[in-house]
Structure 1
Amino acid sequence: MTEVDPKISAVDLFCGVGGLTHGLVRSGINVQAGIDLDPSCRFPYEANNSAAFIEKDVNHLATDEISPYFQGGDFSLLAGCAPCQPFSTYSQGGRSKKRGLDWQLVSSFGNLVADLQPDLVTMENVAQLAQHDVFDRFLAKLQGYHIHWSIVECVKIGVPQSRKRLVLLASKLGSVGLDQIDHISLSPRTVRQEIGKLPKIQAGEQHARDPLHTACSLSDMNMRRIQASRPGGTWRDWDPELLAACHRKESGATYPSVYGRMEWDAPAPTMTTQCFGYGNGRFGHPHQDRAISLREAAMLQTFPREYKFIDKDEKVLFSRLGRLIGNAVPVRLGEVIGETLVQHVKAVSGLETDTSPSESAGLLF
């Protein structure tokens, strides 16, 4: 039986460095443009993806700036991860505006869907979004669509970290297969599987052939702390003289993972914008006396090892690159979303296929 691939043309809103885009492309979707207001995203987005980067605030985006990028496809897809306050930031300096603007980006996404009427829509977001009225208002914008959404445990689909995300899929074509993402249950990938073969480096060192494989330096005290830490353990294992002031407070007792080491044979914790810092969570390397490198953080976000985040001779800035990596959609999640949509389109369009949606969506790259 001959398999026919549908031609899906997509635009990725709030594209960041291209995690969702890269995953969608891996699944066979033609992402033609990514839109984000952060100029730091331009190089990594364009260097790794054959798509145009449009530097613009989605709040001020007109539909005629998007619709030309749907040309050439049999089906159109509007995708994105609208950053949500107070759970994330959408600018280099963060946003500290009134609470009334907290969900403005989700509303802007919904307005663009209502105006553009693409064949397919996907939104990836924080799990907490489902608890807020703005999500109900977003769903109301999807009149005429078949909708499926759920909270996806990313470790079950091949992302080597504990991460829960809301994933919404909507289609004008039908409902068949939109729930396939919920039925994937793979064996968890581990820290060792993902980063175990990277060259050893020391705290404060940058690898000669990979500038992104660089780790923050550690103070003398933090070096003593990490040397006293065991994989999966907590600061409660330390001698008293190593405890930080916050640990001595009653409030600090609720944060056992701070200053923790990852475990080799378990998934990593959720990658955050501060994942390069040993004191910011369980971001200590399982064996080496340092925090994980930026490259390791990116790989735990399932970016390919060769993914380029900085231009040649560009200086590595931990805070900027940590923000870009931590805020990214894991590539593997984007790929599974894309595979689910591709198989859905095949099913509802009567296109012949040798692979069921559940089988395809379960493949690891």
Structure 2
Amino acid sequence: MRSLESPVVAVDLFCGAGGLSLGLKQAGVRVAAGVDLDPACRYPFERNLKAKYLLKDVAKLTGEDLQQLWGDAEYRLLAGCAPCQPFSSHRRGADTSNEENWDLLSHFGRLIKDTVPHFVTMENVSRLKRMPVFTRFVETLIELGYEVDFGILYGPEFGLPQERRRLVLVASRIGFISLPRGSKKKFRTVRDTIEKLPPLQSGESDPNDVLHTARQLSPINLRRIKASKPGGTWRDWPEELVAPCHKKSSGSSFQAFYGRMLWDAPSPTITTQAYNLGTGRFGHPAQDRSLTLREAAMLQGFPRTYRFVPPTERPSMNTVGRLIGNAVPPVFGKAVGREFLELVRLQEGKG
């Protein structure tokens, strides 16, 4: 008889704080290991996933390394989200062609060639779909005999309380595979997700959760948030509060900056600076402050109990904000993990 452990075992490249791995685990996939170059990822990955963390540059990872991590897995899954900075819409037309991160997706393809796992999944920003490096990645999979499907998934349709659209790819060499379909018609909202957290003022902390700390606002930003309406713009403010960037000809592109979220809608896309009022619509819907790291993590789909730093350590806003904003929302990992497990069930049912 088969062990009660999952027949599908994953290695997560560019694993970050473990968002994709958490979703795969929630689906029933066994996560053997995560690989990342960022030392700050080790604690949250090992603490929450109870899996091995390999601090290593994926560009230097070998097929032998992966085979050792998978061990004697019945079905091997290679998952990952290559750093998306070169493809991000926030780059606003900057020439990123010389950035080394462009090549990380090619290393993902190299490792697939070297190991030919049963399944592959990849997640990244939507714009990558139009890039030659992605076309080459798909062509590599097809040449290796994989069935491939990819497209843009919308977070709220999968239960994510956030307006996030991401490119997701799934590939299988044991049978036809297709992207999961979102089924949620009533979207989770900001209110559903963070309303029950203890209220805070600017600069205050929850003594029971170091991540639930509100950044101290400057006097003018405190006046701005008090003058802001949920879902409104800087045009709602008195003239003396309007920022210099808003007065430029490009100011219409920044109407959400310093704005409040709406209670009864999904949040805007959570970025690495979601704790910073001046970088987006990251004002609390009702309290006069910006989001806390805990609120940002929960809107990204992490459970309230997810730990990003040891209990005795005070978190760095920059570091933990980066881990949260760069994470794959677990709902996407859970959805694709279910597709792989269902395919295994169907294949074994034919035997």
Q: What TM-score do the two structures reach when normalised by structure 1?
A: 0.90
Q: Secondary structure at the match of 2:86?
A: coil
8 Å contact kept, 2:77–2:120 = yes
Hey, what's the Cα distance between the residues in 1 that align with 2:39 and 2:5? 34
Measured against aligned partners, the alpha-carbon deviations of 1:30-88 in whole angstroms (never above 9, x if no partner) come to: 00000000000000110101210000000111111111222243211000001134246
Q: For the residues of structure 2 that align with 1:345 and 1:203, how far apart are their CA atoms?
A: 50
Structure 1: runs of 5+ lacking an equivalent: 89-95, 353-365
1:157–1:186: 8 Å Cα contact kept in structure 2? Answer: no
- Aligned residue in 2 for 1:356: none
> How far apart are 1:102 and its partner, in Å?
4.4
Structure 2 Cα separation of the partners of residues 29 and 351 of structure 1: 21
Q: Does structure 1 retain, via aligned residues, the 8 Å contact 2:157–2:182?
A: no
Which residue is equivalent to 2:100?
101
In structure 2, the residue matched to 1:136 is: 135
Deviation of residue 336 (structure 1)? 1.2
1:29 matched to which residue of 2? 29
Cα displacement (A) at 1:317: 0.9
1:205 equivalenced with 2:204 (yes/no): yes
SS of the counterpart of 2:10? strand
- The question of whether the paired residues in 2 share the 8 Å contact of 1:150 and 1:182 is answered with no
Identity %: 49
- Name the counterpart of 1:68: 68
Matched position secondary structure for 1:187:
coil
Query: Aligned AA for 1:120?
Result: F
Instruction: Tell me: CA distance 1:294–1:100, structure 2 relative to 1, closer, same or farther (3 Å).
Output: closer
**2:164 matched to 1:163?**
yes
Q: Specify the alignment match of 1:47 in structure 2.
A: 47
Secondary structure at the counterpart of residue 182 of structure 1: coil
Provide structure 2 residue ranges, at least 5 long, that are not aligned to the other structure: 89-94
What SS class does the counterpart of residue 302 from structure 1 fall into? coil
- Aligned position for 1:338: 337
* Deviation sequence 1:106-129 (CA, Å, 0-9, x none): 000011011110000000111111
1:153 corresponds in structure 2 to: 154
1:276 alignment partner in structure 2 = 275
What residue is the counterpart of 1:264 in the other structure? Answer: 263
1:189–1:97: structure 2 CA closer, same or farther, 3 Å change rule?
Answer: closer
Q: Distance in 2 between matches of 1:183 and 1:234?
A: 31
Deviations 1:252-299 (A, max 9, x none): 122111111000100000000010001110000000000010000000
With 299-308 and 71-80 compared, the bigger mean Cα shift is at 71-80
Q: What is the distance in 2 between the residues matched to 1:323 and 1:6?
A: 31
Amino acid in structure 2 at the alignment position of 1:149: F
What whole-Å deviation, never above 9, does each CA across 1:326-353 have from its counterpart, x for those lacking one?
A: 000011221112112211221233279x
> Aligned partners of 1:149, 1:277: CA distance in 2, in Å?
33
Letter in 2 for 1:174: G
Corresponding residue number in structure 1 for 2:91? none
Name the residue aligned to 1:122: 121
Contact 1:9–1:72 at 8 Å: present in 2 too?
no
Task: Give secondary structure in 2 for the equivalent of 1:149.
Answer: strand
* Equivalent residues of 2:23, 2:333 under 8 A apart: yes
Paired residues of 2:35 and 2:56 also in contact (CA < 8 A) = yes
Distance in 2 (CA, whole Å) between partners of 1:131 and 1:13 is 22
Q: Which amino acid aligns with 2:30?
A: N
Which AA in structure 1 matches 2:47?
A
Q: Distance in 2 between matches of 1:30 and 1:303?
A: 18
Letter in 2 for 1:273: T
Verify the 8 A CA contact 1:7 1:73 in the aligned structure 2.
yes
Paired with 1:97 and 1:336, the residues of 2 have a C-alpha distance of: 32
Distance of 1:98 and 1:304 partners within structure 2 = 37
For the residue of structure 2 that corresponds to 1:123, the secondary structure is strand
Structure number having the greater helix percentage:
2
CA gap 1:18/1:156 in 2 versus in 1, 3 angstroms: same
Aligned to 2:288: 289
Distance in 2 of aligned mates of 1:114 and 1:36: 20
Equivalent pairs, count: 340
Q: What is the match of residue 92 of structure 1?
A: none
CA-to-partner distance for each residue in 1:217-262, whole Å, 9 max, x for gaps? 1011000000000110111111111100111111112211111100
- Assess if the C-alpha contact under 8 Å between 2:86 and 2:96 holds in 1: no
Equivalent position SS for 2:268: coil
CA distance in 1, matches of 2:350, 2:338: 15
The ranges of structure 1 where at least 4 consecutive aligned residues each deviate by more than 6 angstroms after the TM superposition are none
The aligned amino acid for 2:164 is R
- What CA distance in whole angstroms lies between the structure 1 residues aligned with 2:218 and 2:16? 32
Residue in structure 2 matched with residue 357 of structure 1 by the alignment: none
Change (3 A) 1:170 1:115: same
> Aligned partner of 2:229: which letter?
R
CA distance in 1, matches of 2:87, 2:186: 29
* Distance of 1:228 and 1:293 partners within structure 2: 20
Deviation at 1:182, TM superposition (A): 2.8
